[in-house]
Amino acid sequence: MFPLVLKLAEDPVPNIRFNFAKLIEAIYSKLTPQNQSKAEDALQRMSEREQIDFDVKYYAEKALKAIGSDGDKMLH
């Protein structure tokens, strides 16, 4: 099921992408280490490339901060 969730990070609709970030922030501790890494990668990509949609960038950065990732890979 998680691969379907990850696809939301690439959705063309900004509201879907920022809700993905909010979801990851909420469920991160319940994810396997492998899925945590994938989620961090997706959030990092979102925070780096969101030039146009401030809300998406904001929620991606907020989720990264909440899960304790500053953009560097965390040790799991």
Question: Does 41 score more than 80 pLDDT?
Answer: yes
CA distance 25 to 3: 16
Q: How far apart are the first and last CA of the chain?
A: 21
Q: Give pLDDT, residue 10.
A: 93
In angstroms, the CA 24 to CA 39 distance is 7
Specify if 43 maps to a domain.
yes
Residue 73 located in a structural domain: no
Q: Taking 90 as the threshold, does the pLDDT of residue 7 lie above it?
A: yes
- Residue 18: inside a domain, yes or no? yes
Calculate helix-pair angle for 54-66, 33-49, nearest 10 degrees: 140
Q: What's the domain range around 38?
A: 2-66
- CA 6 from centre of chain: 8
Whether residue 59 lies inside any domain: the answer is yes
Residue 31 in this model has a pLDDT that exceeds 70: yes
Mean pLDDT for 37-48 is 93
Number of domains within the chain: 1
Tell whether 74 is covered by a domain: no
